[in-house]
Amino acid sequence: MLSTEVCEYVLSRGSVRVGILDLGATLSFLEMPDRKGQVKNIVAGFPHRELYWQNDYYFGCIVGRYANRIGEGRLQLDGRVVQLSVNNDGNHLHGGFEGLHRKRWRPQSLIERDDASGIVLEYMSPDGEEGYPGNLRIQVSYVLDGAGRLYMDYIAVSDAATPVSLTNHSYFNLSGFENPVIDDHLLRIFASRYTEKNGANLPTGRLLPVKGTPLDFTALRSIGERIGQLSRDQGYDHNYVLDGSLAGELSVAAELYDPDSGRQLRILTDRPGIQVYTANWWDGSVVGSQGVPYGRHGAIALETQAFPDSPNQPGFPDTILRPGEVYRTTTIFQMNTK
């Protein structure tokens, strides 16, 4: 019988500590100091590890095989129709009902160097899981260095063509949830365009400018300044087209800053997109690891990713991994205080 006990591994460098679970390869806590040296956990999570078996909000986990949505869970692949599970308003979301967030990942190795510590976790996703073709072997490594950078490196190979887009789904409140909402956080997104979406939260295929819309974070501005203009989504839930990542090179995707605490987060990635989601449907029913209920706009998720529904959008970057190819991508969370 499969044990339900969840193992946690702790990475520590200086005043920054990170917890990683073998369930969902989940980032369970991220502790960093404010400008006065007070250390707080800045990510959403559960107070007990076993609660992550029912992680409906995807706190801190790796999601996939395909992050975000695939329309009707259906795609054409090499002349045939692939039908994935449908788990979100008629679409496939974040890998399905039992996606990577509900899988036990096997620790492969620990990393211990003078300047960094880390862990490598692996999961073998079998052919047909949630409808995906091919046996997909995935490795995710978390490495924390002395400069306050958390590296997340993803590697995957498959024995059959299959769509792949992996991300970490952490939610951030840089006050350590002392402030119950992130409206006063300042955000900058290095993107001048976004993927237009329809009423089903699927891309139309058009890339539109953010200028003149509430989605414009090309300069640092508060999240709450125009969040009320997004009534349909109850806040931000949009995929941005990153200006610096279409060439597949590592560049800054977003900056988040809490003026009260002085904590700052910079996100670097080689992915083409980043999904910005402001916890629009949190309702206070979950009391998190900080001992406070998580309410609407209590945190922000910044998910580096391929564009949603890319397998059905020929104008979007290709997301099909084929035998003999290696899926390889890196995202960095860089923590600072100012």
pLDDT tens digits, residue range 283-297? 999 999 999 999 999
Check if 169 is active-site.
yes
Active-site residue, selected from the candidate residues 92, 94, 101, 169: 169
Mean pLDDT of 164-189: 98
What is the distance between the alpha carbons of residues 183 and 174, in angstroms, rounded to a whole number?
Answer: 11
Distance CA 251, CA 254 (A): 9
In the chain, the percentage of residues whose pLDDT exceeds 70 is 98
* 206 prior amide bond cis, ω within 30: no
Measured CA to CA, the distance from residue 315 to residue 320 in angstroms comes to 14
Three-state DSSP class for 151?
strand
Residues 6 or more apart from 169 whose CB is under 8 A from it? 58, 59, 60, 61, 62, 63, 67, 94, 101, 301, 303
- 114-136 average pLDDT score: 97
pLDDT of residue 246: 61
Q: Which of 14, 260, 217 is nearest to 114 (CA)?
A: 14
247, pLDDT greater than 70? no
**Rounded distance between C-alpha atoms, residue 146 and residue 240, angstroms:** 30
How many other C-beta atoms lie within 10 A of the C-beta of residue 113? 10
Give the pLDDT of residue 249: 84
> Model pTM?
0.97
User: Cα–Cα distance between 139 and 157 in angstroms, integer?
Assistant: 9
Provide the token pair at 314: 């020929």
Please report the pLDDT score of residue 165 as a whole number: 98
Average pLDDT score over the chain: 97
Domains and CATH numbers, the chain: 8-337 (2.70.98.10)
Indicate the burial class of 38 (C-beta count within 10 angstroms; 0-12, 13-18, 19 or more).
exposed
Give mean pLDDT, residues 33-47: 98
State the DSSP string of 39-68. Answer: EEE-B---SSGGGGGG-TT-TT-EE-SB-S
Q: Could you give the 3-state DSSP secondary structure of residue 242?
A: coil
Residue 1 has pLDDT above 50, yes or no: no
Closest CA to 15 of 31, 29, 3, 27: 31
Q: Assign 244 a pLDDT band (cuts: 50, 70, 90).
A: confident
Q: If you average pLDDT over residues 150-159, what whole number do you get?
A: 98
